[in-house]
Structure 1
Amino acid sequence: MATIKIKQIKSKIGAPVDQKRTLQALGLTKISQVVEHEDNPTIRGMIRKVHHLVSVVD
């Protein structure tokens, strides 16, 4: 299956707890960190929840 790269672009400081947990579930802990996940609806939903803190990298 296809993969998707996700990069954290903003700090989670000041974000609600549920968004912090979403970043943790994605495996993002630092700004500019890039993780790779399979592209599926679950991951897409997590990205949508924290879209202002992350970006999808090509």
Structure 2
Amino acid sequence: MATIKITLKRSSIKRPKNQKLTLEALGLTKLNKTVEHEATPQILGMVAVVKHLVTVEE
């Protein structure tokens, strides 16, 4: 599968708990932190929940 780079661009302060937990599960804890994940349906679904807070590169 392809890998994707996910970068946290906006803060999780004052966000719903499910969005905070999703960011934590993706491994995004600080601003501008980048992580790489396989583009599985589970990961893509998690990215869809927080798409307004992150940027995604293939």
State the TM bucket, normalised to the shorter chain. over 0.9
* DSSP-derived class of the 2:46 partner: helix
Tell me the equivalent position of 1:57: 57
Count residues with an aligned counterpart. Answer: 58
1:20-51 CA-to-partner distances (Å, cap 9, x unmatched) read 00000000001100000001110000000000
Give how far 1:2 is off. 1.3
Identity %: 55
For structure 1, list consecutive stretches of 5 or more residues without a partner in the other structure: none
* DSSP-derived class of the 1:23 partner: helix
Give how far 1:18 is off. 0.6
Stretches of 4+ aligned residues off by more than 6 angstroms: none
TM-score w.r.t. length of structure 1: 0.95
| Root-mean-square deviation over aligned CA pairs | 0.8
